[in-house]
Structure 1
Amino acid sequence: MPYASYTYQGVDRVGRVDGDTLIPLDLPALGSSEALQAAAELPAEAVAVADVHLRPVIRHPDKIICVGLNYHAHVGETGRELPTYPVMFTKYASSLIGANDDIILPPESNQVDYEAELTVVIGRAGRRIPLEKAYDHVLGYTVANDITMRDYQYKTHQWLQGKAWDNSTPLGPYLVLPQEVDLTSAGIRTRLGDRVLQSSDLSKLIFDIPTLISTVSEFTTLLPGDLILTGTPGGVGYRRDPQLFLQNGDEITVEVDGVGTLSNRVRSE
């Protein structure tokens, strides 16, 4: 059963997705595994998905850790050597937008790119988490589009200024629990309209989910609601010939089989 974070009649809620309906929970926000398990449903307050504003699944994470160069094909298209340790950078909570929100093209950037990513949502706090215990700390999974301003990313050797723009990173539409999806070789893809730009599967991750959780938790405590974006496959716009960047009026869609489909319109600021 997927879950959503949404706003209805000016009130932020969490609900279980039942087809085209949301069943509210007596829960202020998604994040803690224990809190979700203990939450009661409020069926009398059910509402249609079409009538709500879907917010990012996690609205105010303490940490957003993103992984770069984590698919063999993407490493190959960049011309870099295969990493022996995960390449990581961060985003801010202010970067996140919902599943139906517009991706805004800032006037400062002419190279706004897409990146399909499976996102791990942490549900239980932990530090120095061993590989064999990593999945015990997962609340669930969702989909992200790691929108990147390439002309800003490559201003320096650090990527922060190209990755952490306000209101730039769609996250959602739903949270799927670990026991309800098999990610072993789940497909991941990006479509621009009807054109497939990225297509791979999660078996091609260089560093798998337990490795990422264990590695991150070596240097920082992972908290409920923290996000780990696991990297993007090959086919990003910057590395295509000719290059392809998002334009006003585009509709960009990111899919992870069994987890969800995330579609956003693109418009100029």
Structure 2
Amino acid sequence: MSMPFYVSPEQLMKDRADFARKGIARGRSVAVVRYADGVLFCSENPSAALHKISEIYDRIAFAAVGRYNEFESLRIAGVRLADMRGYSYDRRDVTGRGLANAYAQTLGSIFSSGGEKPYEIEIFVAEVGDSVEDDQVFRLTFDGQVVEEHDFAVMGGAAESVTAYLRERYAPGMSRDEALRLAAAALGHSESGHRDVPPGDLEVAVLDRTRTQDRKFRRVPLATLREVLPETAASTSSSPSSGAVASTSPEIAPGEVPPDTEPPVAP
């Protein structure tokens, strides 16, 4: 009779964590920056069909990095949970903290289960309040840990380099345009050097507390990005190679790994 293969629980958890971290590091970075009137999300995402930043509820937004099919299923589950809770009780009972805890339970259960691989994703859940002090940003890791972030945060890709860039230049009370310029510049910063990310390759959205509607989420259109980032727009129009990279992005069929999980294409 053959003896079963044995792996210690510590080694098993370490291997699963290393596996998830490698998958997340292959994705392009997502940056969250708090500014005077809300919270700004910025990510390099050349795909026009797949969104890494989305609305969950009136004042709550969701951003993720990693495998698209995995974090999209969690986003849909979060929307359903928020709608059900708001319908059954009150819309004010739907909070970012409650959604973050629900996501943490799901991610923790998947990570500790031996029957399936861990999710190769990290998630931001942000909620905008009536004042700057009421804003909340939660970061959820692949193993279900929840961390409340302040001022700014980055996940995926060259997260350490982008975070270091933001730490040196971030100032509280920035305007939306200042936060956008800072986030876009930070996403182009890495250990190998600095590059300008074309506005057409950016996905940007905000939770804006100054909106009169109950829904505070709004995507920033490409025309606004070109106005706020004139230097990057100029470099894009004069560089044929950047257009070639954007036009050759492959289409992704359902169930396949999206461009977000592939290594960034060198300019």
Q: Calculate the TM-score normalised by the size of structure 2.
A: 0.27
- Would you tell me which structure has more helix in proportion to its own residues? 2
Q: Calculate the TM-score normalised by the size of structure 1.
A: 0.27
- Greater radius of gyration (CA): 2
